[in-house]
Amino acid sequence: MSLKPFSACVIPERTASIARSAFPAGSLCIRTFDELGTIFQDQDFADLYSQHGQPGQPPFRLALVTVLQFIEGLSDRGAADAVRGRIDWKYLLCLELDDPGFDYSVLCEFRARLLEGGAERILFDKILSALRGKKLVKSRTITA
């Protein structure tokens, strides 16, 4: 599996319009994108992918799905279904409304890739950095 970096995440116009109509007060996914963008970039995961071969799902999306999956307590199958069927997830993931998503097994493969590459902290560190950048969490100093 290779990485073909996704350059910029732009929410498709129809997805944005329908998501805003369906969630006039916003949702976790909508507020997250509006405040923090996609948080992850494909380049964050470049060391985990080959330069050759069939391109896989953009890792920035898989990282976001993994975080949402944890927050909502979903199985891999449930998370893949949410990518296919939830408007607010499509908004955060910059997907067209008719995007078919991916097979649930892709999430397990992504997590295995993170662990094999010793990159599992990328998820936590990037989110924490984005939250600190917006002053949504404070830095703590630990003294001995």
Tell me the pLDDT tens digit for each residue of 36-74. Answer: 998 898 888 888 877 766 667 889 999 999 999 999 999
Q: What gap in Å lies between CA 119 and CA 59, rounded to an integer? A: 12
pLDDT at 4: 61
CA angle 110, 113, 119 (to 5 degrees): 105
The answer to whether position 143 is within a domain reads no
The answer to whether position 3 is within a domain reads no
Tokens of residue 63, six digits: 């990282």
pLDDT for 136 beyond 90: no
The answer to whether position 116 is within a domain reads yes
The answer to whether position 8 is within a domain reads no
Tell me the pLDDT tens digit for each residue of 65-121. Answer: 999 999 999 999 999 999 999 999 999 999 999 999 999 999 999 999 899 888 888
Tally of CA atoms within 13 A in the half-sphere of 26 that contains its CB: 9
pTM: 0.85
Domain span including residue 66: 13-131
- Of 58, 68, 85, the C-alpha closest to 31 is 68
The answer to whether position 137 is within a domain reads no
Nearby residues of 134 by Cβ (< 8 Å), 6 or more positions away: 35, 36
